[in-house]
Amino acid sequence: MHFELLADRPQDVPVVARWCFDEWGHSIEGNTFEQTVERISRKLNRDSAPLHVLAIEDGRPIGSAQLKIKELHLCDAWEYWLGDVYVLPAHRGRGVASAICRRVQAIAASFGIHRLYLQTERPGGGLYSRLGWNAVKEIQRDGKLILIMELELEQPG
């Protein structure tokens, strides 16, 4: 497995859009798969957020994650976020999600970003707690309890 930026594999935008739409986007009122493709197509950055990182195995994407800007309007003061972490079911349980998260963290740190945030519905933070993320606060959103977590990034030496 290795990592590539979605910006370097634009042919995979529909793949990532399908994952994002099926996992989260379908529940957003009025959202369509085509709109999801359009939004992701506008985030094909290499040197700044927002951007997507792909985990690649045998020449195909098996997972992705995004370095986002201002994900939650409830937390406008927090600028950079890790989001849309997704791994194909057949590849789960092999450390792919952890590796993608660490890759996004390293990219963010290389941009001079000192702190990342994320949101999860997983009580206790699940994977993210194991990766060193700390709970900041809980909020109610769309009838669900959401845990906001943060991670202080180590800056490259």
CATH number of the domain enclosing 85: 3.40.630.30
Global model pTM greater than 0.85: yes
Q: Is the pLDDT of residue 140 over 90?
A: no
Task: Quickly state the pLDDT bin for 77 (edges 50, 70, 90).
Answer: low
Query: Which of the 8 DSSP states describes residue 1?
Result: -
Q: Position of tokens 């709109």?
A: 35
- 104 falls within a domain: yes
Q: Return d(Cα 49, Cα 32) in angstroms, integer.
A: 23
- 18 falls within a domain: yes
- 20 falls within a domain: yes
Q: Is the pLDDT of residue 87 over 90?
A: yes
Task: Quickly state the pLDDT bin for 155 (edges 50, 70, 90).
Answer: confident
Tokens read off for 71: 């994900």
- 75 falls within a domain: yes
- 157 falls within a domain: no
pLDDT tens per residue, range 99-124: 999 999 999 999 999 999 999 988 78
Q: How much is the pLDDT for 73?
A: 60
- 67 falls within a domain: yes
- 87 falls within a domain: yes
For residue 61, the enclosing domain spans: 2-112
| C-alpha separations of 75 from 66, 142, 144 in Å | 18, 15, 16
Q: What's the total number of domains in the chain?
A: 1
Length of the chain: 157
